Amino acid sequence: MTYEETARLPAHGVRPAGPRSRVGAVKARPGPTTPMRIRQLSGSTARDRRDDLATEEPLEIRVSAPDGSRRTVAITMRTPGHDFELAAGFMSGEGLAGAGDIAAIAYCTDDDLPPEARYNTVTVHLRGPVPDLPALDRHFLTSSACGVCGSASLESLHDRCRPLPRGELRLTAGLLYGLPGALRAAQGGFGKTGGLHAAGLFTASGTLVAAREDVGRHNAVDKLVGWAAMSDRLPLSDHVLMVSGRASYEIMQKALSAGIPAVCAVSAPSSLAVDLAREFGITLVGFLRDERCNVYAGGERVAG
């Protein structure tokens, strides 16, 4: 699928809501940053000035089927923007629906929603039935900080994911050292607020393909995977994922679902992230900064 949130009627049925709903005016759409008046202290002086903060608001992801059945699958705290990609990436990363299973994604105009919630609720319209999975219950509330916090086990991943083949991807030290700077240059929101995580997708030659920002690490990755799903780019078997924070279990799970063979992080990985990487054949690089890094798994893809 292809998608551009600002388009009047994007391709393949992926459509934003109109400016008004059936039950009244819609609240102004929140942006990725929010201006605030603050008092800044420096030494013995104080001054009032404007500051830009990273916006954090809830996003409820609903699914609906042609038979009229529907269900809430997640409520996550996120930075507004690329919401449809976030929903598509979440569905893909959790094995609930691929791009071909989605008929449309739209902001929700259901009668049970107050107008101020319209841009904080999206409905993923499926071509088939709503997934009947008990595992969905664990996603009912996620935070911008940690997602579902690795509550799924490695064993459950084997039901829908296989270890990644070694493939042709090879990484040099020079390529790795260039990734943090390239990602930082694409972090416009972080430059304004200092409060957003980022995820970047790179080619095997180190070229940045796409980058997304969010207050949540896992949301940034979902947006990136959702973009790839809607662009018919999955699996990302010859790409590298770079994240601005630590490498958690959930980020590794999302990378595995997208077929990404290499994940790099500015900070440390968790122990479960390393376990997943080693079990499923993913190269995992941590503490990638200042031309230094640690390779925790998949060292056969790293030269030198």
Q: What angle do CA 166, 170, 175 make, to 5 degrees?
A: 145
Mean pLDDT of 142-154: 49
Q: Check: CB of residue 177 under 8 Å from CB of residue 291.
A: yes
The region, left, alpha or beta by phi > 0 then psi within -120 to 50, assigned to residue 240 is beta
Query: Would you list which residues are annotated within the binding site?
Result: 287-292
pLDDT confidence band for 142 (50 / 70 / 90): low
Mean pLDDT of 22-31: 59
Count of CA atoms in the C-beta half-sphere (13 A) of 18:
6
The whole-angstrom separation of Cα 162 and Cα 27 is 44
What is the average pLDDT across 226-240?
95
- Residue 242 per-residue DSSP state: E
- Going from the C-alpha of 9 to that of each of 29, 104, 111, 153, the distances in angstroms are 18, 11, 23, 40
Kindly state the average pLDDT of the residues 187-200: 91
Share above pLDDT 90 across residues of the chain, in percent, rounded to a whole number: 65
The answer to which of 21-25, 39-43, 150-154, 266-270 has the lowest mean pLDDT is 21-25
Mean pLDDT of the region 148-152:
43
Q: Is 264 labeled as catalytic in the residue annotation?
A: no
Domain annotation for the chain: domains and CATH numbers: 173-301 (3.40.140.10)
Mutual orientation of helices 83-93 and 249-257 as an angle, nearest 10°?
90
What are the tens digits of pLDDT across the range 86-141?
999 999 988 889 889 999 999 987 777 787 788 999 999 999 998 765 545 444 45
Average pLDDT over residues 153-165: 82
Kindly name the residue from 108, 146, 161, 293 that is annotated as catalytic: 146
The answer, as to whether pTM is greater than 0.95, is no
